[in-house]
Structure 1
């Protein structure tokens, strides 16, 4: 079934439990089960086409989020999506306070009414805030969003990192959802070995990803993260986030993770974090892995077009002052991407870009 976890991960979890280890990271081995009385919206089964809605940085509960969701609903009514992907910052500005926090309704369930499909969700830095909004300094806070998986029909986040193969049993695509917040936090977890760069959580995630990608039978392998590898927006590339030369908050460990475990193995990286819409051209240094940013589902960088730096990455499409989202149409032989911008006053989607990218 989609999201099914392998015997190796289950045995790892069982061994850790027997040893009395508290695995706070909620890995695939500790996947949260659906609660009694909760019926999940079903993943697509069969067929040779999968239509995907890709949003990011949506969780504001504001009229802009509602406008983008209404535009997505309009497309869903005419050509239904099989799933949606939410690329993090699901609950602005600081993340939830427990699984019964009303913010889940205000900033996810209510705006997305009518988009009654599984939402494959990613943890973002605002979902794990501590002192300052978005500092990523309270990593355990993300576990509230994982546990919410057990109570919601549409929210799909059974663990902090996981994969979903679609459709089942002959997958066109496998989505690999990652949690790189321990590597990208503005308040690095220097006093918590479990979350450290080479700590248990990240090492288990690296090993899991390497095996899961290598074993995947899907035609397309897509990595979903909050933090991008390449990015023409103000947050910048991994390794120079925010233009900072200071390690590790410049994202150098995120850069190394991508370069060692993702590039050349996945076809696409889908990320949010930057409040923009970018379909970047494949870079030679990326070994054929293409970066897409979809983080404008509630916020934008500015009200006017942005002047790009001289060293900006070549892009097939990019906008920094428009709300919107991305759609993917996947078949066994192709990936077609489209960018839809949204006017917050009318909530009407406008297709600005469409191209076969693979």
Structure 2
């Protein structure tokens, strides 16, 4: 596999082995979670876009894009124009990659309609995160069919852009003496609206999450990168309608309120990573670090195809201090990282005329 990806263990699962494992899981036997130890290799004939070797890393940060609609295309057009003027090194796709319910296989035509075609010309690696709409069962976004996410992992073998060699993984840039390491996490088992109560593999303290916790603790502790960035779909802190972890959707009912996601963030991410980059909420938010976040800054970029609306119904208690918030415009973010600085820009996109405006620019560190 090409540079930057951090994996451990035996990576020789292959497409045939993956499909066999998925079929076994569907029959009710042991599930295939696809941790970094089971990373999917690239198929022969597929040439992945290379990771950058430069020590200035310009990252396109986008989320909740995969609709295939005019809105997604308008934002992608703006990103293409931005890339022409100031080339991106890579992109982060912060989940809900295939609306409304996720792909039905690793070669589903939805990958072309909702990812490849809209992003034509954005020819660099896209680090992809699994979202609740990518793992749907009964209704779109319920997160109740966790195994469905493996279809997006399988697609890693087929695409030059799409980078998801396993359900969670990390990438260092550059590989030697890295400026940044991205830790792409899958917290859907902790945040789904239909909790995995009947399958021990996916439960809060099941094999998948315990292995992910152990991997993340070790990977963050061992990382030599200047910037350590956690990439999730569901946020830890959020002023928008989906709410904070532990108060998702304004609910008091455990575990539907994401209490286990809150504990995961607090035990394994905050105070250890510099930033949490998330989607889920269809908004653009740059929150301030707080004592609650132990200095870790939460950033939300989930407006690549949908918005909350002109008069957002914000979740009670969503009052975290923010440098920037926008709930009614489409848009994306650009993070530029060097060995000593972290700069962020927020770009909003007007669906009516396709115009793009820089709405926020700040050196965060």
- Sort the TM-score into its range (normalised by shorter chain): over 0.9
Deviations 1:265-312 (A, max 9, x none): 000000000000000011111111000000000000013466785651
The equivalent residue for 2:21 is none
Question: Mean Cα displacement is larger for which, 347-356 or 221-230?
Answer: 347-356
The equivalent residue for 2:287 is 280
The equivalent residue for 1:41 is 49
Deviations 1:19-76 (A, max 9, x none): x99551100000000001000011001x221100000000000000000000011110
| 1:167 shift after superposition | 1.4
| 1:168 shift after superposition | 2.3
Deviations 1:291-345 (A, max 9, x none): 0000000000013466785651110000000000010000000100110000012
The equivalent residue for 2:36 is 28
Q: Give me the whole-angstrom Cα distance separating, in 2, the residues matched to 1:278 and 1:244.
A: 21
Q: How does 1:234-249 map to 2 (within 5 A)?
A: 234-249=241-256
Q: Give me the whole-angstrom Cα distance separating, in 1, the residues matched to 2:105 and 2:360.
A: 39
Deviations 1:220-267 (A, max 9, x none): 000000000000000000001001111101000000000000011000
Q: Give me the whole-angstrom Cα distance separating, in 1, the residues matched to 2:338 and 2:247.
A: 35
Q: Give me the whole-angstrom Cα distance separating, in 1, the residues matched to 2:182 and 2:318.
A: 30
Q: Give me the whole-angstrom Cα distance separating, in 2, the residues matched to 1:248 and 1:307.
A: 21
The equivalent residue for 2:5 is 3
- In the alignment, structure 2 segments of 5+ residues that lack a partner are 14-23
The equivalent residue for 2:160 is 153
Q: Give me the whole-angstrom Cα distance separating, in 2, the residues matched to 1:199 and 1:306.
A: 35
The equivalent residue for 1:66 is 73
Q: Which of 83, 92, 95 lines up with 1:88 in the alignment?
A: 95
Q: Give me the whole-angstrom Cα distance separating, in 2, the residues matched to 1:332 and 1:41.
A: 24
1:67–1:345 Cα contact (<8 Å) kept: no
Q: Which of 293, 301, 304 lines up with 2:300 in the alignment?
A: 293
Deviations 1:91-136 (A, max 9, x none): 0000001012110000000000010010000000000000011000
Q: Give me the whole-angstrom Cα distance separating, in 1, the residues matched to 2:56 and 2:4.
A: 16
Query: 1:252 aligned to 2:252?
Result: no
| 1:348 shift after superposition | 2.3
Q: 1:255 to 1:30 in 2, by over 3 A?
A: same
- In the alignment, structure 1 segments of 5+ residues that lack a partner are 14-19
Q: 1:240 to 1:33 in 2, by over 3 A?
A: same
SS in 1 for 2:5: coil
Q: TM-score, normalised by structure 1?
A: 0.94
| 1:195 shift after superposition | 0.2
| 1:169 shift after superposition | 1.8
In the comparison of the two structures, how many residue pairs are matched? 349
The equivalent residue for 1:105 is 112
Query: 1:128 aligned to 2:135?
Result: yes
Q: Which of 327, 332, 335 lines up with 1:328 in the alignment?
A: 335
SS in 2 for 1:203: helix
Q: TM-score, normalised by structure 2?
A: 0.93
The equivalent residue for 1:17 is none
Q: How does 1:159-170 map to 2 (within 5 A)?
A: 159-170=166-177
SS in 1 for 2:292: helix
Question: Mean Cα displacement is larger for which, 34-43 or 303-312?
Answer: 303-312
Q: 1:99 to 1:307 in 2, by over 3 A?
A: closer
Query: 1:228 aligned to 2:235?
Result: yes
